[in-house]
């Protein structure tokens, strides 16, 4: 994936190192996990929206990964996440959103169930060049009954641009699961994905309240 791009205006004050300090009043932490296939843009999304310099556990890909990590469609990728990514967004003085980007390779899937623990909701990033890689993420979230939205990460070279209706059909997504376009490199686009997830969680909460 390409590097993240920021919006011209940065919110809040920062330290001399460019990091935004966490206020003393912060008392509630909310957790969201970003999942998806290998090379889909999870690290880029966390990096683009985080108000702090994100914690990345990326390592350079070597010959040892040949035949282990499937790079079809992402041959230009040179690094890979080997644990998870971590970022932060302060919603207000008391509430903080923590973002965890899960590794996409099958050999690290065992970490996912731990990352899902205590999660408010999740974002499934989809690359239309590697649609099959999305199945496991959706399956595990449904297994854990974790609410999620699906964001299609559009690339500059996305020549075979499938419509959202085609993608929903291919992924067998129920109508109530939000499906949106995004560009993980752009902060406003990444924030729109997170807002869509929060809106989805709010609607689910209202429906549950009405049912009870």
Burial of 110 (0-12, 13-18, 19+ CB in 10 A): exposed
Segments making up each domain of the chain, as ranges: 28-211
Quote the percentage of the chain above a pLDDT of 70: 69
pLDDT at residue 109 in the model: 67
User: Is the pLDDT at 206 greater than 70, yes or no?
Assistant: yes
Most confident of 1-5, 187-191, 205-209: 187-191
Residue identified by tokens 């556990």 is 57
User: Is the pLDDT at 8 greater than 70, yes or no?
Assistant: no
User: Is the pLDDT at 158 greater than 90, yes or no?
Assistant: no
* Residue range 28-211 in CATH 3.30.310.220: no
pLDDT at residue 91 in the model: 85
pTM of the model: 0.76
User: Is the pLDDT at 71 greater than 90, yes or no?
Assistant: no
Model confidence at 14, pLDDT cuts 50, 70, 90, reads: very low
pLDDT at residue 68 in the model: 45
Look over the chain and give the mean of its residue pLDDT values, rounded to a whole number.
79
Contact between 124 and 144 under an 8 Å Cβ cutoff? The reply is no
Tokens of 33: 């996990």
* β-bridge mates for residue 80, sequence order: 59
User: Is the pLDDT at 192 greater than 90, yes or no?
Assistant: yes
User: Is the pLDDT at 85 greater than 90, yes or no?
Assistant: no
pLDDT at residue 164 in the model: 95
> Mean pLDDT throughout 153-172?
83
* β-bridge mates for residue 55, sequence order: 86
> How far is residue 123 CA from its own chain's centroid?
5
> How far is residue 148 CA from its own chain's centroid?
10
User: Is the pLDDT at 16 greater than 50, yes or no?
Assistant: no
């Amino acid at each position: 994936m390409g590097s993240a791009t920021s919006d011209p205006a940065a919110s809040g004050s920062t330290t001399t190192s460019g990091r935004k300090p966490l206020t003393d009043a912060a008392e509630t932490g909310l957790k969201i996990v970003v999942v998806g296939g290998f090379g889909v843009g999870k690290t880029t999304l966390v990096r683009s929206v985080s108000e702090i310099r994100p914690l990345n556990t990326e390592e350079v890909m070597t010959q040892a990964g040949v035949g282990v990590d499937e790079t079809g469609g992402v041959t230009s990728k040179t690094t890979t996440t080997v644990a998870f990514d971590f970022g932060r967004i302060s919603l207000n003085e008391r509430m903080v959103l923590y973002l965890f980007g899960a590794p996409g390779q099958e050999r690290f899937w065992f970490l996912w169930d731990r990352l899902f623990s205590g999660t408010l909701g999740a974002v499934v990033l989809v690359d239309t060049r590697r649609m099959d890689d999305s199945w496991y993420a959706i399956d595990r979230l449904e297994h854990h009954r974790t609410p999620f939205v699906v964001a299609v990460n559009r690339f500059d070279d996305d020549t075979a641009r499938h419509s959202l209706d085609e993608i929903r059909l291919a992924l067998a997504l129920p109508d109530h699961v939000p499906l949106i376009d995004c560009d993980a490199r752009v902060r406003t686009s990444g924030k729109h994905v997170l807002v869509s997830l929060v809106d989805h969680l709010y609607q689910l909460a209202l429906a549950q309240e009405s049912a009870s």
